[in-house]
Amino acid sequence: VPCSAVTLCHGETLCVGEENWVDSRTVYIGHKEPPPGAEAYIPQRYPDNRIVSSKYTFWNFIPKNLFEQFRRIANFYFLVIFLVQLIIDTPTSPVTSGLPLFFVITVTAIKQGYEDWLRHKADCSINECPVDVVQQGKVVRTQSHKLRVGDIVMVREDEIFPCDLIFLSSSRYDGICYVTTTSLDGESSHKTYYAVPDTMAFRTEQEVDSLHATIECEQPQPDLYKFVGRINIYKDKEEPISRTLGAENLLLRGATLKNTQHIYAVAVYTGMETKMALNYQSKSQKRSAVEKSMNAFLIVYLCILISKAVINTVLKYAWQWSPDRDEPWYNHRTEIERQRHVVIRAFTDFLAFMVLFNYIIPVSMYVTVEMQKFLGSYFITWDEEMFDEELGQGAQVNTSDLNEELGQVEYVFTDKTGTLTENNMEFIECCVDGNVYIPHAICNGQILSAASSIDMIDSSPGGYRRDLFFRALCLCHTVQVKEEETVDGIKRGIHQGRPTSFYISSSPDEVALVEGMKRLGYTYLRLKDSYMEILNKDDEIERFELLHVLNFDSVRRRMSVIVKSSSGEYLLFCKGADSSIFPRVVSGKVEQVRARVEQNAVEGLRTLCVAYRRLSQSEYQEACHHLTEAKLALQDREQRLAQAYDIIERDFVLLGATAVEDRLQEKAADTIESLHKAGIKVWVLTGDKMETAAATCYASKLFRHSTQILELTKKRTEEQSLHDILFELNRTVLRQRSISGLSVDCLDFGLIIDGATLSAILKSNQEGTSHGNYREIFLEICRNCSAVLCCRMAPLQKAQIVKLIKASKEHPITLAVGDGANDVSMILEAHVGIGIMGKEGRQAARNSDYAIPKFKHLKKMLLVHGHYYYIRIAELVQYFFYKNVCFIFPQFLYQFFCGFSQQPLYDTAYLTLYNISFTSLPILLYSLVEQHVTMESLKREPSLYRDIAKNSLLRWPVFLYWTCLGVFDAFIFFFGAYFLFDNTTFTSNGQMFGNWTFGTLVFTVLVFTVTLKLALDTHHWTWINHFVIWGSLLFYVIFSLLWGGIIWPFLNYQRMYYVFMQMLSSGPAWLSIILLITVSLLPDVIKKVLCRAICPTATERAQVLFCASNCASILPPVPYRGAVHHLHAFPVLQQNEFLIGPERQERSRKRR
Amino acid sequence: MMASSYNAKEEDGHHPGSSNHGGTGPSSSKKPDNTAFKQQRLPAWQPILTAGTVLPAFFIIGLIFIPIGIGLYVTSNNIKEFEIDYTGVEPDSPCYICAQNFSWNSTTPCICTVNFTLQQPFENNVYMYYGLSNFYQNHRRYVKSRDDKQLNGDLNNLEDPSSDCEPYRKIGGKAVAPCGAIANSLFNDTLDLSYVESNGTLNSIDLQRKGIAWWTDKHVKFKNPAGSNLSVAFQNTVMPVNWRNPVYNLDPSDPDNNGFINEDFIVWMRTAALPTFRKLYRIIPKKSGAASTLPSGSYRLKIAYNYPVLSFDGRKRMILSTISWMGGKNPFLGIAYITVGSICFFLGIVLLIINHKYGNRSSSADIPN
């Protein structure tokens, strides 16, 4: 912040940093003109407070939407083809491409129009929200969009600021207010904002309205944490007082007022100029790997298309060089055509060939892919197994563009708290002087042998210390009590028999501790008139005067309170992380407590140490002095406060430690294990401390007992240089790899890295490469670790890690899963972002691509849904290209036999309907319901996921195979028909067939082959598949009979009249259709069978295995020993798993 | 980074001034239906293509295809076919003079005769074809150049044919009937066949003109314009430029075979698929008493040579062929069936070996983990 809040500066001189203002604006508070002479009154026009997120209006919808749609390269291509067909004399009618294009454009326009209408509605409801504005000394309620810059606004508790405001005064006497900016930057903690010192005394509307001042500030900037401005306050005939304004005076739109009854503030940025609106950014369009391959294939096909057209054009002109071929006596051109220049004719011919072959890039593929994604995503929403009874919600799909990407994940980045763990803090135990206390102790001697479970009534030695410990926990916190009210944020309800009251706090640990104390007999009642009231175990109310709160911060990692007991003692209670308490302890049973803390930390409990210090009157005065001095400091307030805290918080007497459990999510370990087996690397990114996080990792089987842990933490970098550590670790990893070589029992590595070290590694890269590229070495180490734990991560660092991995040279597909607002950045950064509908609000779920209720659902999401979606869409894409090669290549071949005259082989109706109806539904349904392996097998054998890793079904060799298959089939179709037609008749009455029968024969074989090819690929024949596949073939036959059965009055030509029936009346036609279909399908069948027999993939084995168990009638029960063995491996592993996991869970289950 | 962490959606649940938080309430919580379709648990048949399942199929295909192929091949071989090229390219061929002296303007047809000998007698119905080579009936400009409405007897199109017929649409302001390039280039050679008796007398063979076109074409697709008299119906039109007789006088012998429903015309109007093609010209019906329709011996083909093909290196042929249930002589289908059947059988054996060899091996290998 360039200007401190209280720096005074005069009107004429510039404030610090003022010279850097981009451009300034003057805001007249309450729209009052400044006194004459002070400065010129320049009324300025600002936008109103209207938020517009909609894209279209009623009037510009059609042109703008059409423009947007035709900006897509595919749509534009089809439009060009359509226009070419309209302009030049082309072999096919414009209807063949115009109709599908029109359909696609209309459907998309309707969808986008509907979405925009929803956006209009949302905008409307936001813009019409009631807002309280101070006008003529009265609070007037208006609508949000009517707010103007300069209006004075009153905001009540829990309301969201309607625009960017300069904070004038608060209902609190100290002129501060608390704000959460969860919806802005994801930080759920309360932040303090300060009122302008000169106006903070205003209490009423009248007073605020009497303010006569102007604000000069920079024009709106998107940076949330930066604001510079100046307020000039005019008092009667005095020199105006100027004060600088900083970011701490600016309340941002979107933030929520907390713990403050109401505030008055003046609007400085409104509507689309607010910092939030400037940061409006539609989610960057994520594109899946499949889509990228699809586009690459498209380009290949476009090249094929153009080269086909060029080849044919060149050949045409070479062939018709002699005029007898160009214009034989029986086939003259028209006069107009003859006069055309040869270059124009050649170009027209080129375009005509393009049009003839354009179906090789089918418009319907885009429609089918979109439909498949959209409809397919419903299976996620419908999945009962991903429905959570407790939340009452199932999985949620925010974008269907990435369905198949779920099957391609290589790295999973998961948050710990709330994702791996439940974020449901439960007080487990406390340890006072080495004695362990457990609320509601259900003594189980076997498990808690180490803990001496003491009943509360038992007055053991050290009772005073024990009571002091309980009192300390009841007093040393910032928990607030809310009664009988629905509270937002974190909800912790306790039924006491009387009206419900909740403890609320920004830290769930504190709530757990206070609740734990309540169960141990000490109930914190309330804070009233700066007296904290405690109901002790004898049902007496104890009152302590709260003198000072030394707030928690993440650097000190502790907090303290100074209270005065009823007996007049001054006490300082402090609680904090063990590492920040122990060095300051002078007496107490440090060793016992430390041992207990360490033991708890290893078990994955969150531990806090509690200490106290008795202050004498003089000591208290001194502390008071330090604190007030620091608080009143004009500069470096933060730093001075820290110094003051450091002086006060020392010479502690250790009381004991607490342990709070954040239970593991249900089946978290199983999920992680499955992901590991699926070849996915799991990284845990957490802001938590290393010990706790590591324990969670052990419990969730991310680390096993056999895992060799590599540490890359601040503790180590203090001893050794980062350079040395990195190289040493790299050597370890590489050595291990070279020793183990290809052996299966490779020792796996786990890496632990903390935020500080990570930023050092990332920073090293920018500073130059004097020490080599740390980033590369780090990535190399990570690549060899099966699991990585990153602790002490800031939200932004999480995103950085994701970015780092994304940018590494293999470009792996990443998935981020998290529940809190602090995970949003990483969710947005990763290829696939998954939000857990957790307790920390819904930011993550809202910003994610998919939202699931629990972490365990990730397993089904990736291993089952992801796998299915991937194989479905991969087949869809390949098959679409294949069937269009089969479709168009015979037309290409036909050009060699019709003098390169662009004569289409098929009738217009066939050309139009081939992709739209004859072959569209089977592949769409296949891509919706195909299950090449059963769901159970996929869940049971996560390793099947590896079969599809790295986009394996859409690699170039596979694509080449499909294309070659298509070309082969096309050759078979065409030359099969060619030799059948070769200069003979094949009817029993001697009559001849013409070119349309030839085309119809090829087309019939084509439709049947292409459909049966899909039937061969279908592994999951539900009645829908049967219906659609046989239905399409039947539809083709019926359509052909109908199309050729009637003289259609609306058609100019009757070329298809009885062609199909005549063909069917011929025996050899039937025989050749059967033969050609068989031959076309043969190579694919052989390839499938040989691949399966010689080098079966895991998926194929799983199919056989399933078949062996379920359909023994088809296959003899082949003893596929390997797979059977693998299935048995799981229970064996369970016995060997790390002991802490189940034991921990066992214990917690018993406690509950 | 932070900047992108919120979007328009953010405000949906959070309106300034309202304290309604927490997004969607329990009202929207709907447990998904437990239907087989929604849970993707529809009962399904799950076939897999293994060597074991495909093996029998291959053997069966082999066993079915080979006999079919042999049957087809034998049938095709039993068909008798005789073909003679009468283009007149070589100087010693009988039609050389006619071919060389061709003129569009000549009013009297150039007649040439070709003698040939049938070694074997032709039984049953014998079909007589004319064949053309290097004639691109499938050229796009040519295929398009017709007006099906006119040919269907539409009176409007009769006098105002479709523009597709250009440049054979109108002559001197009068509509051409039938219009278009296809009709204009109607094959107009006349072929007459006679048997040369051993004593040298010519025995003219009766050639049947009916039944050479598709029944549906003759009766539905092609219709003469309404009118009591054909010549009256066509009075406002002119005949195509290359024709010698108007459309209503194509077959002087049979008044029902004139106009658009002339069978020779209909046959010609069905454009061939490939540049070398044959078209049915006449049918020589089986004689009730005789042993064979065309006994072996000498024959004479008398040709009225009207149709020029030399300009585009074309060839003209006359073909006599008997017909079986599978049509004319075409060994392709039989050979193809035998080949495919054998390949399938052979593949079946290969698969059997592979199945034996790898079936055991793959079962012992572990799934790579």
Q: What is the pLDDT of residues A455-504, one digit of tens each?
A: 443 444 557 788 888 888 888 887 777 654 444 333 344 444 344 566 76
Query: What are the structure tokens assigned to A1075, written together?
Result: 């033969």
Mind listing the pLDDT tens digit for each residue in B236-276? 899 999 998 899 988 888 888 889 999 999 999 999 999 99
> What does the alpha-carbon distance between residue A161 and residue A154 come to, in Å, rounded to a whole number?
9
pLDDT at B167: 87
Residue A924 has pLDDT above 90, yes or no: yes
Mind listing the pLDDT tens digit for each residue in B67-111? 999 999 999 999 999 999 999 898 988 899 988 888 888 778 889
Please tell me which residue, A906 or A497, carries the higher pLDDT value. A906
Mind listing the pLDDT tens digit for each residue in A358-392? 888 877 788 888 889 889 989 999 998 899 888 78
> Of A386-400, A805-819, B238-252, which range is least confident?
A386-400
pLDDT at A720: 73
SS3 at position A780: helix
What is the mean predicted confidence (pLDDT) over A124-146? 87
Highest mean pLDDT among A393-407, A1049-1063, A1074-1088: A1074-1088
DSSP state letter for A18: G
Residue A246 has pLDDT above 70, yes or no: yes
Residue A927 has pLDDT above 90, yes or no: yes
pLDDT at A523: 85
Q: Got the DSSP string for A28-86?
A: EGGGPPPPTTTS---------S--------TTTHHHHHHHHHHHSHHHHHHHHHHHHHH
Can A415 be counted among the known catalytic residues? yes
H/E run at residue A653: strand A652-664
Residue A569 has pLDDT above 80, yes or no: yes
- Between the alpha carbon of residue A1078 and those of residues A553, B272, B341, the distances in Å are 75, 27, 10
pLDDT at A283: 57
> What does the alpha-carbon distance between residue A595 and residue A867 come to, in Å, rounded to a whole number?
47
Tell me what ipTM this predicted complex has. 0.91
SS3 at position A132: strand
How many beta carbons lie within 10 A of that of residue A1028, not counting itself? 22
Residue with tokens 């895992």, as numbered in its chain: A707
Residue with tokens 């039989």, as numbered in its chain: B334
Average pLDDT, chain B: 85
Mind listing the pLDDT tens digit for each residue in A426-438? 888 888 877 888 7
- In B91-190, which residue ranges form alpha helices assigned H by DSSP? 96-100, 140-144, 148-151, 155-159, 181-184
> What does the alpha-carbon distance between residue A926 and residue A1016 come to, in Å, rounded to a whole number?
11
pLDDT at A580: 82
Question: What residues of chain B, 53 to 82, have a C-beta less than 8 Å from chain A?
Answer: 53-54, 61, 65, 68, 72
pLDDT at A25: 82
Record: contact A281-B340, CB cut-off 8 A: no
Query: What are the structure tokens assigned to A99, written together?
Result: 């109709």
Least CA distance to A1093: which residue of chain B? B358
pLDDT at A978: 94
Mind listing the pLDDT tens digit for each residue in A588-619? 888 888 888 888 877 767 788 899 888 888 88
CA B150 to chain centre: 23
pLDDT-derived band of residue A843, with 50, 70 and 90 as boundaries?
low
SS3 at position A560: strand
pLDDT at A1115: 39
- Which of A956, A812, A933 shows the shortest CA–CA distance to A867? A933
Residue A451 has pLDDT above 70, yes or no: no
Residue A194 has pLDDT above 90, yes or no: no
B31, B133, B140: best mutation site toward chain A, by most A Cβ within 10 Å? B140
pLDDT at A520: 80
Please tell me which residue, A633 or B259, carries the higher pLDDT value. B259
Distance from CA of B92 to the nearest CA of A (A): 25
Please tell me which residue, A634 or A1014, carries the higher pLDDT value. A1014
pLDDT at A21: 53
Domains of chain A: 147-279 (2.70.150.10), 364-376+864-1082 (no CATH), 395-419+665-736+747-762+774-853 (3.40.50.1000), 425-442+465-483+500-663 (3.40.1110.10)
pLDDT at A497: 39
Question: What residues of chain B, 160 to 179, have a C-beta less than 8 Å from chain A?
Answer: 162, 164, 166-168
Average pLDDT, chain A: 80
SS3 at position B190: strand
- In A914-994, which residue ranges form alpha helices assigned H by DSSP? 920-929, 935-940, 956-981
Angle of helix A1023-1045 versus helix A920-929 axis, rounded to 10: 170
pLDDT-derived band of residue A726, with 50, 70 and 90 as boundaries?
confident
Residue A584 has pLDDT above 50, yes or no: yes
pLDDT-derived band of residue B22, with 50, 70 and 90 as boundaries?
very low
Mind listing the pLDDT tens digit for each residue in A746-794? 567 888 888 888 888 877 655 555 555 788 888 888 888 888 998 877 7
Record: contact B326-A1098, CB cut-off 8 A: no
> What does the alpha-carbon distance between residue B213 and residue B266 come to, in Å, rounded to a whole number?
6
DSSP state letter for B231: H
Residue A11 has pLDDT above 50, yes or no: no
Distance from CA of A1128 to the nearest CA of B (A): 13
Q: Which residues contact A936 (CB under 8 A, 6 or more apart)?
A: A1106
Q: Is A1025 annotated as a binding residue?
A: no
> What does the alpha-carbon distance between residue A341 and residue A1046 come to, in Å, rounded to a whole number?
42
Query: What are the structure tokens assigned to B187, written together?
Result: 């094959």
Residues of chain B neighbouring A280 (CB-CB closer than 8 A): 6-8
What is the mean predicted confidence (pLDDT) over A418-430? 81
Query: What are the structure tokens assigned to A714, written together?
Result: 């601040």
pLDDT > 90: percent of chain A = 23
- In A837-866, which residue ranges form alpha helices assigned H by DSSP? 843-847, 857-859
pLDDT at A747: 64
- pTM metric for this prediction: 0.80
Catalytic residue among A415, A578, A754, A907: A415
DSSP state letter for B36: T
What is the mean predicted confidence (pLDDT) over A192-209? 82
Amino acid at A56: Y
Beta strands in chain B (DSSP E): 81-85, 110-118, 126-133, 170-171, 174-176, 190-196, 202-204, 237-238, 277-284, 297-305, 315-322
What is the mean predicted confidence (pLDDT) over A876-895? 94
> Of A186-195, A347-356, A1082-1091, which range is least confident?
A186-195
Question: What residues of chain A, 214 to 273, have a C-beta less than 8 Å from chain B?
Answer: 222, 224, 253-254, 256
SS3 at position A577: coil
Record: contact B127-A331, CB cut-off 8 A: no
SS3 string of A85-127? HHHCCCCCCCHHHHHHHHHHHHHHHHHHHHHHHHHHHHHHHHH
pLDDT at A637: 67
Residue B214 has pLDDT above 80, yes or no: yes
Residue A990 has pLDDT above 80, yes or no: yes
Picking from A379, A796, A1098, the nearest residue to B368 by CB comes out as A1098
- Between the alpha carbon of residue A703 and those of residues A678, A684, A728, A786, A946, the distances in Å are 16, 11, 21, 9, 21
> What does the alpha-carbon distance between residue A1014 and residue A911 come to, in Å, rounded to a whole number?
20
